[in-house]
Structure 1
Amino acid sequence: MSLRAFFDALDGTWPAASYRQLGPVTLREGQGGGSRVSAATIEGDWTPADLDAAEAAMRDMGQKPIFQLRPGQQTLDAALADRGYSVLDPVNLYTCPVDLLCDIPLPRVTVLAVWEPLALMLEIWAEGGIGPARIAIMERVKGPKTGLLGRHADKPAGCAFVAIHDGIAMVHAVEVLPHQRRSGMGRWFMRAAALWARDNGAHTLALMCTKANVAANGLYSSLNMEVVGEYHYRHLTSETTA
């Protein structure tokens, strides 16, 4: 799978409220949904004037200037660093064939696929900082999608979101309740996501994980998911998000 396909699937399964092209820059309107749906990206040749215009446009949207830097964009990365932009949230990109995680049946009622999300799921997400602005992102997805509700020891354990774009199923918003961690719930979420993805025509499972999340990176590696790339953001710490 190409990195372009990965990033296209990212926009398809976790979409911004709107997109606008400004020369080589793609602007995203995040509406409070976080960096992933607010960061500008640049493809092809660019000039300092393009960066100036992008900064002004993001401020006009009520957003602080933030850019997502993808593999091969070292020159852009250095230019933003010279402008005072700091690195934010370096991320690993993971993929695997869907069938890789479909080899073990799910124990009964361990993970339920549910859409629309139940009130309990909204509560679990809210406890993990995934509030209405990010739920709105899930609602905007136009392709196949589902929420996953996990249970352990007959109690709610967590939830996640999965959506498909062009055969790539992406897992987002994985949240396990603090008292249910170390119970294997993350592993069951990934297997449940793969089974749902297979049943809905996807060939690849994908996700993003911040490099700082050592436990989650260890989980995905233990499932034999492959790191196929990375990205990070640069933002101006002197400005706040509207």
Structure 2
Amino acid sequence: MEISAGGRLEVRITAADVGKRVSVRRWSEHAAEGERFTDTVGVLTSWDNGVLLITRRDGEGVRIAESSLVAGKIVPEAPARRRGPAASWEELARISARSWQPLERERLGAWELRAAAGFTRRANSVLPLGDPGLPLDRALTAVRRWYAARGLPAYVQLATGAEGAQELLCAELETRGWTREVTAELWTGGLAPVADRETSGVELSRTADETWLARYQRKGLSDVALKVLGSGPSVWFATVPGAHGGPPAAIGRCVVDGRWAGFAAVEVDPEQRRRGLASAVMAALARRALDEGASAAWLQVETDNAAARALYTRLGFAVHHAYHHYREPEDFGGAGAGGPRVAGTGPVV
């Protein structure tokens, strides 16, 4: 924290520093002895009516009374990660969007509105990478009307935890009643280490056939869902056949896009886990991606999926940033508000 020449802590931030990364210390007289000082690091996303809102790397907002501050300073952006390929969050947002392509899209300035009959939030949310060309409230109204006309709830996908990410826009949506429903993380890593694994028994295909779909977690998929799964610059599906013609022992999906290979839908029969099948599936897909010229890898994982996170760590992946889907408030009077929702809009990242 900032310490003056006299050895005292000082608050060296003001409301003019909104949007900057800060570190603050606050004091609470009601906390237990030894726990009365709390440090918080993140982006200062607002300072209104005597209350600071600081958004941490994981997207969580911390509200702090100005009167409780004992120290505060501006701090540099988080140092560059030492693992994985270099990339900005915006580059990865564009790359990941191309691997789950919607059936319908429309531009609102630099924002992209995406819809695919409700299959996966990634193809049914706004990707706001820049200025919408309208004041925020008008842009959000246009967004809500666009999704309401399609019988879908409006979602906005935002990133936090990387240099220049969208903490401020997260705070703006929250003040307007938008609710964060899902938080996940985007991880990156080198592709070659993933390929350096056993791949025996893995079969590759360009399409998600009935066998592959028998293991996929989403059942009863529509034609729209199948089109989204098959979308992307170069899509591959991996299958480890099951015993006696049953569902596959393991599956996976990979989209190759320039230097990047994106992994998804890596699923293993619960009775055959911890046998290296997930690693084998990813290795087979990685080798094909290397053949197509890719060198870097990314994937998305929910924050509570401990088994997947352990596997990806062993394969050399590391967290790049968090991303979130914010859902519109329920008080909108558009054509689709309060009406029936399209099936498939459940908790899918």
- TM-score > 0.5, shorter chain as reference: yes
Q: Are 1:56 and 2:152 matched, yes or no?
A: no
Whether the aligned pair in 1 keeps the contact of 2:204 and 2:238 (CA below 8 Å) is: yes
State the shift of 1:32 in Å.
2.4
From 213, 216, 219, the counterpart of 1:122: 213
Residue of structure 2 in register with 1:93 after alignment: 186
Unpaired segments ≥5 residues, structure 2: 1-86, 331-337, 343-349
From 304, 319, 341, the counterpart of 1:227: 319
Residue of structure 1 in register with 2:301 after alignment: 209
For residues 18-48 of structure 1, the C-alpha deviation after alignment (integer angstroms, 9 at most, x for no partner) is 2211134210012221211001122334522
Q: Structure 1 pair 43/101, CA: closer, same or farther in 2 (3 Å)?
A: closer
Residue of structure 2 in register with 1:14 after alignment: 100
For residues 157-205 of structure 1, the C-alpha deviation after alignment (integer angstroms, 9 at most, x for no partner) is 1211111112211112222222222332222222222112111221111
Q: Are 1:29 and 2:143 matched, yes or no?
A: no
- The aligned amino acid for 1:94 is W
Structure 1 Cα separation of the partners of residues 195 and 230 of structure 2: 27
Residue of structure 1 in register with 2:16 after alignment: none
State the shift of 1:152 in Å.
7.0
Matches within 5 A, 1:63-74: 63-71=152-160, 72-74=165-167
Residue of structure 2 in register with 1:42 after alignment: 128
Structure 2 Cα separation of the partners of residues 123 and 201 of structure 1: 31
Judge which range, 151-160 or 206-215, deviates more: 151-160
Structure 1 Cα separation of the partners of residues 256 and 236 of structure 2: 9
Structure 2 Cα separation of the partners of residues 129 and 178 of structure 1: 16
Whether the aligned pair in 2 keeps the contact of 1:25 and 1:50 (CA below 8 Å) is: no
Q: Structure 1 pair 190/91, CA: closer, same or farther in 2 (3 Å)?
A: same
Q: Are 1:78 and 2:171 matched, yes or no?
A: yes
Q: What is the aligned-residue identity percentage?
A: 24
Structure 2 Cα separation of the partners of residues 60 and 162 of structure 1: 32
User: Partner of 2:316: helix, strand, or coil?
Assistant: coil
Residue of structure 2 in register with 1:135 after alignment: 226
Structure 2 Cα separation of the partners of residues 30 and 210 of structure 1: 22
State the shift of 1:224 in Å.
1.4
Structure 1 Cα separation of the partners of residues 195 and 267 of structure 2: 21
Question: Relative to total residues, which structure has the larger helix share, 1 or 2?
Answer: 1
State the shift of 1:9 in Å.
1.5
Structure 2 Cα separation of the partners of residues 225 and 157 of structure 1: 24
TM-score normalized by structure 1? 0.88
State the shift of 1:237 in Å.
7.0
- The aligned amino acid for 1:165 is D
TM-score normalized by structure 2? 0.63
Judge which range, 37-46 or 151-160, deviates more: 151-160
Structure 2 Cα separation of the partners of residues 140 and 232 of structure 1: 22
From 261, 271, 277, the counterpart of 1:179: 271
Judge which range, 51-60 or 171-180, deviates more: 171-180
Whether the aligned pair in 1 keeps the contact of 2:198 and 2:280 (CA below 8 Å) is: no
